Amino acid sequence: MNFLAEIKEAVINGNTSKVQEITRAALDAGETPQTVLNEGLIPAMSIVGEKFQKGEFYISEMMISARAMYGGLDIVKPLLLNQKVESKGKAIVGTVQGDLHDIGKNLVCMMLEGGGYEVVDLGINISPDQFVAAVKEHKPDFVMMSALLTTTMAYMGKTIKALSENGLREQVKIAVGGAPVTQKFADSIGADFFASDAGEAVTKANAILALK
Ligand code: B1M
């Protein structure tokens, strides 16, 4: 079995120490941190989701796998952040109200930091009012929202509405993402852009800044 397949298996099995051991071995053998992340750690969580959907995994097992993924992330994160360049702009990032999923949101924060952005991570279960307060306090260039549940996606639109009602909409560029989110949905709620993954959140933010 190759390293990436072994990482996936260890994440699925929720074996944090094994994930860390193989992640280190993979990096020592010359795999890049991006490959370990994008072809090992992230796809493992998709398989975990499929198992949950099929009834093969309970929530407790999803949580244990998430913890194991974080074990690998702890190792690759400093390597990805080493590629840091000068500060480009500020982004506030949060998972929307009612939603507790944070892995994708944390990856977005990590890639933004690695891409030279100042990041204010609001955390999970962030209400429209909390986003509004954060925009007033931090005056960011970007507001980035993550949602993993079809039921919580609606809070993205509610947050944009709340920003408009508070006269803040034109001060920020708003980006949305997360597994159930699509370009069509982003357009329907009036977001400035949709990013399908954390890397795209950075490249699209860069493109917007270049236009300013
Ligand atoms: Co949950 N969960 N979960 N879960 N969970 C999903 C999302 C689900 C698809 C599983 C399934 O049924 N197949 C399903 C949602 C169904 C739906 O609504 N369509 C689901 C469910 C139902 C639930 C509960 C309701 C289960 C229950 O209680 N009955 C519950 C809800 C809790 C809540 O939030 N209120 C729940 C709970 C949990 C755990 C707590 C156990 C755990 C989360 C742990 C944590 O985050 N710390 C968990 C997990 C781990 C998952 C799966 C298995 C994995 C999610 C993940 O981390 N993926 C997930 C299945 C799946 O997604 N296939 C599932 C890896 C991550 C890197 O991907 O977050 O998509 P993702 O991020 C990507 C992109 O989407 C993008 O970048 C990342 C890649 O670079 N991206 C952005 C994300 N946010 C972005 C923001 C941006 C840009 C890009 O801003 C611009």
Ligand 1: residue of 77, 106, 148, 172 to mutate (most ligand atoms within 8 A of CB) is 148
- Are 104 and 169 found together in one domain? yes
132-179 per-position pLDDT tens digit: 999 999 999 999 999 999 999 999 999 999 999 999 999 999 999 999
Residue owning the nearest CA to atom 55 of ligand 1? 45
One domain, residues 100 and 151? yes
CATH of the domain at 16: 1.10.1240.10
Where in the sequence is the domain holding 11, given as residue range(s)? 3-82
Answer whether residue 104 shows pLDDT above 60.
yes
User: Do the Cβ atoms of 118 and 85 come closer than 8 Å?
Assistant: no
Domain stops at, among 82, 112, 146: 82
Q: 146-157 pLDDT, tens per residue? A: 999 999 999 999
Pairing of strands 118-126, 90-96: parallel
97 with 58, same domain?
no
Amino acid at 55: G
The CATH number of whichever domain residue 152 belongs to comes to 3.40.50.280
Residue 22 and residue 7 in contact, taking contact as beta carbons nearer than 8 Å: yes
For residues 77 and 127, state if they share a domain: no
